[in-house]
Chains A and B, each alone.
Chain A
Amino acid sequence: MHLISELSAVLATSLFIFALYWMNDPKTARRGVIAGVTGMGVAVIATWIQPEILHHGWIVAAIILGFAVGVPLSRVPLTAVPQRTALSHAFGGLAAGLVGTAEFFLWINEPGGAHITPFRMSALVLEVILGFLTFTGSLMAAGKLQEVRWIPQRPVTYPGQNVVNIGVLALAAGLGVAVVLNPHAAWASQAFVAIAVLATIFGVLLIIPIGGADMPTVISILNAYAGLAAVAMGFVLDSKLLVTAGALDGSSGLILSIIMCRAMNRSFTNVLFGAFGKTQPALTSGEQKVWKQETVEGAFQLLEQARNVVIIPGYGMAVAQAQHKVRELFDALTKRGVTVKFAIHPVAGRMPGHMNVLLAEANIPYSALVEMDEINPEMPQTDVALVLGANDVVNPAARYAKATPIYGMPIIDADKAKTVLAVKRSKNPGFAGIDNELYVRDNTWMLFGDAKAVLADLVKQFGSGGIH
């Protein structure tokens, strides 16, 4: 039996590594899912057939419930994928926290306490802290993304916030050290419960000062935490399989966090403790410039006469559900021999890769999706840059306006295109609360309105053959 579980763990681990390896190309990626499912199946069966498992009914019931909730969760619209992802981080954290709690009470009630070593106790405390803080933190993030009414969207800040946050975490850690040193003390159980409660509170406190523009980074960091919680669980349960799978998840979260932070020119600590979007410095540099509005007919003529067009999508496109209209525009332009590319900023949308998925859903070939670093050198030769619901990621102020929170953030050089068409829902500033200078540039023309409606009108112009 032991041999079976060891071998199955090795097999599952190898399959998980292959699953991630195949994600390096969209052509092989679906194979990765099959490998992952197979690895999971092998590991579950090998555990289930172990002789110490007696209560099969419980397992079956929990698995059925898991399917009942999991299947609908996998069918959410793609605009809701960020909140589904946050929710699954929450479930991952919850599982780690609960298993950790269960193990703690099993061990301390064991005669002799054979399981209790300082190392395993530390892992247990770490598992519970990481698990529960990931649970509530991710729930908060999911709530913010879903725009649940009683969770404020804008960052909530108060004086001494960081002191309070760090204080709560330090208290949990301090209690953790006390429990590790005195696992058999009469108060150890109470202290342990207090650690779990403090971690739960810390998760909430950690997320309330964070605004929507930071969500791609925060989701990535929570991903890393969820992975680390699984690793800690692996240490507690002596499971190399869990340690490996958790480490894969954790390193993925880490890499994505680094990429997101770099794309916003910010550090981890700044994201977690900086309360992005709280400050709204007015960017009124002397004279107040005004934007120039363009009609749909005018925009049509600009696009029709262009040789190459770069579309820069942002979260506004997702909100307006405009990706299918984008596809129609893409087709209409391509048919006329116009080269169309999409410029994807790493933090466009609400989670890493969000824009790519939305555009892929609309059947736009992924060869037309170009990363920021690759498209920027082409921008000066671009005839029309069409900004679609993107805002901060195209704001030229990021290059020089030191007082703004977006200063230093790499942007897509939309302003360098010969002509800029910007579709914008309202005249309000973006998530970071900063006026966008791009809109008042000489070569920029604004199209105000819902992205979907504006695009539909544009496509109609193409359909009518462009009556001149």
Chain B
Amino acid sequence: MTDFGSMLFVFVLATFIGLGVIRRVSRLLYTPLMSLTNAISAIAVVGSIVVAGADHPLTIRILGAVALFASMTNIVSGFLITDRMLKMFKKQ
């Protein structure tokens, strides 16, 4: 089991990286940025896979499967719509 100190450490560093990177995102792209980060945070899918797929009681697996469906929807629609919007930003 990982100690919570190192998890907290990862969290703080990741937040600083996030703030640094997001601050430089083009203001034109805030809408696609939101759908992209949304798709990325649907990485919760890995947690859902474990809950839905491991040998757990049925009710637990149902919860996991619904969560997996919700995350998967975000991944699919998030990446697709981000790409669809970004395609529109053409320079003349």
Interface residues of A (CB under 8 A from B): 12-13, 16-17, 19-21, 23-27, 29-30, 32-33, 36-37, 39-40, 43-44, 47-48, 50, 52-56, 58-59, 61-63, 65-67, 69-71, 73-76, 78, 81, 84-85, 88-89, 91-92, 94-96, 98-99, 101-103, 105-106, 117, 119-120, 219-220, 223, 226-227, 230-231, 233-235, 237-256, 346, 351-354, 356-357, 360-361, 363, 365-367, 369, 371
Contact = CB atoms under 8 A, between A and B. Distances in A.
Contacts of A243: 7, 10-11, 14
A239 B41 CA distance: 13
Contacts of B67: 94-96, 98-99, 102
Max chain A C-beta neighbours (<10 A), residue from B30, B38, B45: B30
Max chain A C-beta neighbours (<10 A), residue from B31, B59, B65, B91: B31
Can you list the 6 inter-chain pairs with the closest CB atoms, starting with the nearest? A66-B72, A70-B76, A353-B30, A251-B18, A74-B80, A249-B41
A73 B18 CA distance: 27
| Chain A interface, >50% SS class | helix
Given A74-B76, A91-B74, 7 more contacts: A23-B25, A74-B81, A91-B73, A96-B67, A223-B38, A227-B37, A252-B34
Contacts of B73: 65-66, 69-70, 73, 88, 91
B64 A23 contact: no
Contact of A245 (B41, B51, B91): B41
B31 A356 contact: yes
Interface in B1-46: 1-2, 4, 7, 10-11, 14-15, 17-19, 21-46
A24 B1 contact: no
Contacts of B60: 102, 105-106
Contact of A251 (B22, B63, B66, B85): B22
A331 B1 CA distance: 62
28 contacts: A26-B29, A29-B26, A29-B86, A30-B87, A33-B83, A33-B86, A52-B50, A65-B69, A66-B73, A70-B72, A70-B73, A70-B80, A73-B77, A74-B81, A88-B77, A91-B70, A95-B44, A95-B68, A102-B63, A105-B60, A119-B4, A234-B11, A242-B44, A243-B10, A247-B11, A357-B85, A366-B90, A367-B92
A366 B2 CA distance: 47
Contact of B51 (A69, A102, A120, A356): A102
Contacts of A101: 63
Interface residues of B, number: 80
A237 B49 CA distance: 12
Contacts of A119: 4
Contact of A70 (B7, B36, B68, B77): B77
B50 to A, nearest CB: 7
B85 to A, nearest CB: 5
Contacts of B27: 346, 353, 356, 371
A55 B57 CA distance: 12
Nearest to A34: B83
Given A52-B50, A98-B64, A102-B51, A92 B81 contact: no
Contacts of A50: 50
A73 B38 CA distance: 14
Contact of A61 (B15, B65, B83): B65
B71 A247 contact: no
B72 A99 contact: no
Given A243-B7, A251-B15, A251-B19, A24 B25 contact: yes
A226 B71 CA distance: 12
Contact of A230 (B36, B43, B92): B43
Contacts of A365: 90-92
A88 B48 CA distance: 16
Contacts of B4: 117, 119-120, 235
Contact of B70 (A95, A239, A253, A361): A95
Given A23-B25, A353-B33, A255 B74 contact: no
A241 B26 contact: no
Given A20-B22, A58-B52, A248 B66 contact: no
B75 A242 contact: no
A16 B54 contact: no
A246 B17 CA distance: 12
Contacts of A40: 39-40, 42-43, 45, 75, 79
Nearest to B15: A247
B55 to A, nearest CB: 5
Contacts of B90: 360, 363, 365-366
A99 B88 contact: no
B48 A99 contact: yes
